[in-house]
Amino acid sequence: MARKKKKLTLQKMFERDAGQGLENFDKPPTKVNVFERASKIKTWNMFIHLVEQENITPAEALTVVLKHVKKNWTRLKILKDPQQMEAIANLLKWENKIKRKKLYQSQYLEDFAQMTGYKIPNTFHTFETEMALFRNVFGAKRDKSGKFLMERAAKESLRRVNKEKRLAKKEKKYKQINYKNYDMTPLGWKKKQE
């Protein structure tokens, strides 16, 4: 014999399901650190899995990635690209020849920008910062050990010693004048007449 199914009314369904799903109601929500989660992604398959979990379309993901690349063009597309090393080397060579201030306003920088896609900054200070990044690629960092200061101090002390020697020679060359035999006149010192 087949059993008859009981018809459930809406009220009976509510009574049956009452209290279900409220087990975790008193617990605080868990926070998910997005950056920590992103740091665990090591492969493209893991990235695709995460994107699918977050319901992000490929167009949205690509838009975000391209905005990031555009914003960090110098770091991502010039400094990390081995094909751009020659252009960076030429820029540094021109910096040594004509100095940074003139390079900022020169045709050479415009040529570099055209070859690499580099955006010339509006301020000279920003340009100096980016030139330091370019120097770091070749390990040509500024030496902060104090060596330059010590060399400068040694040169200065040598210069002072040489100056004192020159002055001492000049004093020996000329005889000291005894002003006892001279009178001061409106035109200057004159020898006393006897």
pLDDT per position as a tens digit, 95-127 = 889 998 999 999 999 999 999 888 999 999 999
- Does residue 59 sit in the same domain as residue 111? no
Domains in the chain, number: 2
Is residue 62 situated within a structural domain?
A: yes
Whether this prediction's pTM lies above 0.85 is answered by no
- Does residue 57 sit in the same domain as residue 118? no
- Does residue 107 sit in the same domain as residue 159? yes
Which runs of consecutive H residues, i.e. helices, occur in the chain?
Answer: 10-17, 34-39, 44-53, 58-71, 73, 85-98, 100-104, 107-116, 124-137, 147-173
- Does residue 142 sit in the same domain as residue 114? yes
Residue 57 is part of which domain span? 35-71
Is residue 3 situated within a structural domain?
A: no
Q: Cα(62)–Cα(70) distance, rounded to whole angstroms?
A: 12
DSSP-based three-state secondary structure for 25? coil
Check the CA dihedral 11-16-18-21 and report its sign.
negative
Q: What's the chain's average pLDDT? A: 85
> Which residues is 189 bridged to in the sheet?
184
- Does residue 62 sit in the same domain as residue 97? no
Is residue 136 situated within a structural domain?
A: yes
- Does residue 86 sit in the same domain as residue 157? yes
pLDDT over 70 percentage in the chain: 93
- Does residue 99 sit in the same domain as residue 144? yes
Q: Cα(157)–Cα(159) distance, rounded to whole angstroms?
A: 5
Is residue 135 situated within a structural domain?
A: yes
Tokens standing for 71?
Answer: 């914003």
- Of 43, 71, 99, at which residue does a domain stop? 71
Is residue 110 situated within a structural domain?
A: yes
Q: Cα(72)–Cα(122) distance, rounded to whole angstroms?
A: 16
The DSSP secondary-structure symbol of 183 reads: E
- Does residue 153 sit in the same domain as residue 111? yes
pLDDT digits (tens, 9 = 90+) for 28-82: 777 878 888 888 999 999 988 888 888 888 899 899 989 998 888 888 888 888 8
Is residue 46 situated within a structural domain?
A: yes
Is residue 39 situated within a structural domain?
A: yes
Is residue 172 situated within a structural domain?
A: no
Q: Which of 93, 116, 115 is nearest to 103 (CA)?
A: 93
